[in-house]
């Protein structure tokens, strides 16, 4: 029996740069799947995140969305991020739990339609997990059909904060630890994902 997921997902990998390569040349699509059983088959056969070299990333995104700021479905979006250090197994568990929450669709309410994917960045001395969302708490374009600048902006921010709290719950963070949200447009503008946080929960 196959336990069908609500959405098909694609795993991507960013390999560490060797010399001067563009972000684009480093990002590779690995495999797509749409059942719980396929997920475990893949998970049990790929290199655990804790065995990847520094500057590697895994990205698990809804099929059809590239894990890039430039993707049309990410352009107006942003991400919740949490940076941490821990033991190998504890770190792998954090990433596993984030992936399970994503494919199990427990990071948002059914109509939120915000979650694009999740990412783990393996860096020198720390890991970072990210949760990418479709919107970034911004006002819609002026004159967009049915748009109400003030209520739409507030709605987006409310949704994102609710999602940020669920992200924290999956990470089992105590109240005094924060996760931070930043918009992709700011990250792209600053040429770094370490853009100043717009808000935190």
Binding segment for ligand M7G (CB under 6 A), chosen from 46-54, 100-108, 145-153, 187-195, is 187-195
**Counting contacts by CB under 6 A, is residue 28 touching ligand M7G?**
no
Query: 3-class SS at 55?
Result: coil
**Counting contacts by CB under 6 A, is residue 40 touching ligand M7G?**
no
**Counting contacts by CB under 6 A, is residue 192 touching ligand M7G?**
yes
Cβ–Cβ < 8 Å for 63, 10: yes
User: Which runs of consecutive H residues, i.e. helices, occur in the chain?
Assistant: 23-26, 36-43, 88-103, 149-171, 184-190
**Counting contacts by CB under 6 A, is residue 186 touching ligand M7G?**
no
Cα distances from 139 to residues 88, 109, 195, 198, in angstroms, run: 41, 21, 19, 14
Interface pick for ligand M7G out of 15, 97, 123, 198 (rule CB under 6 A): 123
Please report how close the Cβ of residue 193 comes to ligand M7G at its closest, in angstroms: 3
Binders of ligand M7G among residues 138 to 177 (CB under 6 A) are none
Residue listed under structure tokens 């999956």 = 170
Interface pick for ligand M7G out of 10, 56, 91, 121 (rule CB under 6 A): 121
Query: 3-class SS at 131?
Result: strand
Helices (H) and strands (E) counted in the chain, each on its own, are 5, 8
Total interface residues for ligand M7G by CB under 6 A: 10
Closer residue to ligand M7G (CB): 15 or 153: 15
**Counting contacts by CB under 6 A, is residue 191 touching ligand M7G?**
yes
């Amino acid at each position: 029996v196959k336990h069908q997921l609500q959405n098909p997902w694609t795993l991507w990998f960013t390999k560490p740069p060797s010399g001067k390569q563009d972000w684009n040349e480093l990002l590779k699509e690995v495999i797509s799947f749409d059942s719980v059983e396929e997920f475990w088959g893949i998970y049990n056969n790929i290199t655990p995140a804790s065995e990847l070299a520094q500057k590697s990333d895994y990205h698990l995104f809804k099929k059809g969305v590239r894990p890039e700021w430039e993707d049309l479905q990410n352009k107006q979006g942003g991400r919740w991020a949490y940076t941490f250090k821990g033991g190998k197994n504890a770190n792998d568990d954090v990433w596993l739990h984030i992936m399970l929450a994503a494919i199990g669709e427990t990071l948002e309410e059914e109509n939120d339609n915000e979650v694009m994917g999740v990412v783990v960045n393996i860096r020198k001395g720390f890991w970072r997990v990210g949760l990418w969302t479709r919107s970034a708490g911004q006002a819609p374009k002026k004159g967009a059909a049915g748009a109400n600048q003030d209520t739409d902006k507030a709605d987006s921010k409310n949704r994102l904060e609710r999602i940020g709290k669920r992200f924290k719950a999956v990470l089992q963070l105590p109240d005094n630890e924060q996760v931070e949200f930043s918009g992709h447009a700011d990250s792209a503008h600053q040429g770094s994902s370490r853009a100043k946080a717009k808000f935190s929960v």
